[in-house]
Amino acid sequence: MIVRRLIAVLGAGSLLATAGCGGSAPSGAAGDAAGSGDGPVRIGALHPVSGSMAVDGLQMRRGAQLAVEQINDSGGIASLGGREVRLATADTQGKPEIGQSEAQRLISDGAVGLIGTYQSSVSSNVAVVAERNEVPFVMDVTASDEIFQHGYRYSFRVQPGSAKISESAAEYLEQVSEQAGKPAERVAVLHEHTDFGTGAADAFETAAEKLGMEVGPRISYDATTASDFTSQITQVKASGADVLVVAGYYGDSLLIAQAVDAVKPDLDAVWGVSNGAYDQPKFVSDAGELGDRYFSTNYHFDAQNPETRRLREEYRQRFGAPMRTGAVLSYDAVQAIAAGVEEAGSTDPAAVRNGIARAEIDPLTVGDGPVRFGPDGENVNSAAVLMQIQNGRVKQVYPPEKAESDPDYSVAW
């Protein structure tokens, strides 16, 4: 079994991205194109680099780029005589139909595997294309569990799924609030209305009720059009909830924080679940003093790992911004496909798929061991961690074995 070590001492290579050309091809065409001669092994990356999710999408594209550079700087794919890897990119624009057509284009242009896509609705469409073409698709950020209920053979996921994150969020809330002497009793839920937010809310509600918490009100919204959450937070305030759970993207979650500050409901905590804002350095600067009041249960880069720290410092120097967890997951996803090619000794997508299923990689995100995919394509060692903004920094606070500091559930509101 091949274990690809993630060495985050990166060279300063150029952006290895190609746009490709249009057209479609039958199943197997990717292996034919990528496997001809001694050309580079092409990995397709689908992310939203325009539209409302562009900041995260660009971060993830750059994370994938850094992984490609690390692989090439380390000698390329050894089992193929040191062949280099090239990143072929596509902008999904945050639209499922664009993601679907771009996935087909990348496959037709010779991609041996795909990564992406940040949005569950887009990943759902890309998974169908990957399955039809028999090309592996390694999801970096995709929370929805519904994709993995179809028995797809070519879909894999690095991050923990929605149910795992949401169940952990409910357990951590129960444990942390009880340890603080303020057990959570009634929890309001605000969630964006697509597969991502609805799935997170469904799983959290089920887990919280099993633990004896009352859940309600539960309010959904459209993250692409929401501009103010005053009325929703007023409803939360009237309900008497002591905790507010938020499952949303960055912009909407920031607006919710601003509404909480304006309406001032009597809450013990705001608890992000698979949240796109409350564990981000940008939220710390955008929210100011509000940030210290927020928790988030999510996947996260491993702040205790020296290799992760070196990678994030390289990113900061190269791109002038902190590297977000999504970008680290994209890095891991590229490494997973490269490990599959290395294991297979081939660029035939079916062989690469089997190689991915056998390979292990050392992740730069929090987990319970190496990235290793089970029969259903899920990373069996994925794990969620609780974070809190403390003194202007996002810190891992729970469970204790993954914590940088203790959770502070008594922050004054």
Nearest partner of 34 among 114, 126, 107, 136, judged by Cα: 107
Q: What is the pLDDT of residue 412?
A: 54
Within 8 A by CB and 6+ apart from 303, the residues are: 309, 395, 396, 404
What percent of the chain is modeled with pLDDT above 70?
90
* Chain segment 46-77, per-residue pLDDT in tens: 999 999 889 999 999 999 999 999 999 999 99
Q: Is pLDDT of 103 > 60?
A: yes
Q: What is the pLDDT of residue 212?
A: 98
364 — pLDDT class (breaks 50, 70, 90): very high
Q: Cβ(334)–Cβ(115) under 8 Å?
A: yes
Interstrand relation of 393-398 and 385-390 (parallel, antiparallel or unpaired): antiparallel
* Chain segment 15-25, per-residue pLDDT in tens: 333 333 333 33
Nearest partner of 168 among 362, 366, 371, judged by Cα: 366
Give the residue carrying structure tokens 């990717």: 30
- CA-CA distance, 180 to 177, in Å (whole number)? 5
Nearest partner of 20 among 115, 84, 105, 135, judged by Cα: 105
Q: Is pLDDT of 28 > 90?
A: no
* Chain segment 1-20, per-residue pLDDT in tens: 444 443 333 333 333 333 33
Taking 3-state DSSP, the helix, strand and coil percentages for the chain, each rounded to the nearest 5, stand at 45, 20, 35
Q: Is pLDDT of 123 > 50?
A: yes
* Chain segment 238-267, per-residue pLDDT in tens: 999 999 999 999 999 999 999 999 999 999
Average pLDDT over residues 125-136: 98
Integer-rounded Cα radius of gyration of the chain: 21
**Following CA atoms 146, 148, 149, 153 in sequence, which dihedral angle do they give, to the nearest 10 degrees?**
150
Q: What is the pLDDT of residue 288?
A: 77
Domains and CATH numbers, the chain: 39-160+304-358 (3.40.50.2300), 163-298+385-402 (3.40.50.2300)
Amino acid letter at 318? Answer: R
411 — pLDDT class (breaks 50, 70, 90): low
Question: What are the two backbone dihedrals, phi and then psi, of residue 392, each rounded to the nearest 5 degrees?
Answer: 80, 15
Q: Is pLDDT of 339 > 90?
A: yes
Average pLDDT over residues 84-98: 97
Average pLDDT over residues 220-224: 95
Mean pLDDT of the chain: 90
- CA-CA distance, 142 to 200, in Å (whole number)? 11
Q: Residue 68 corresponds to which tokens in the numbers above? A: 């490609």
Instruction: List, as one string, the DSSP characters of 153-217.
Output: SSEEESS--HHHHHHHHHHHHHHHHHHTT----EEEEEEESSHHHHHHHHHHHHHHHHTT-EEEE
Q: Is pLDDT of 37 > 70?
A: no
Q: What is the pLDDT of residue 149?
A: 94
